[in-house]
Amino acid sequence: MNEQPNELDSMCGISDDELTKRFKEAVRIDNEIKRIKGTPIAGYDAEKNEAYLEYADGHREYIHAKSEEA
């Protein structure tokens, strides 16, 4: 069976898989630039269910959610 991609599966001739691959690479490059500049990188720890900032020296500062009161 010859399956052709659905029109919605591509954008400007780029497949979803290729677009995902390019996006991941762009994020990796951006994070590398941040490490070089010493800017913290946002991340998420699935085990602790908490967001954190990771600094160039490798230490992490966890961001504790604050409840908003109206």
Amino acid at 8: L
Looking at residue 29, what is its pLDDT? Answer: 97
Apex CA 41: angle with CA 40 and CA 45, to 5°?
Answer: 125
Q: Does the pLDDT at position 48 exceed 70?
A: yes
Looking at residue 70, what is its pLDDT? Answer: 46
Looking at residue 64, what is its pLDDT? Answer: 82
Q: Does the pLDDT at position 27 exceed 90?
A: yes
Sign of CA dihedral 22, 25, 27, 29: negative
Q: Does the pLDDT at position 49 exceed 50?
A: yes
pLDDT tens-digit readout, 1-24? 556 655 555 557 788 899 999 999
How many Å apart are CA 35 and CA 56, to the nearest integer? 5
How many Å apart are CA 39 and CA 42, to the nearest integer? 10
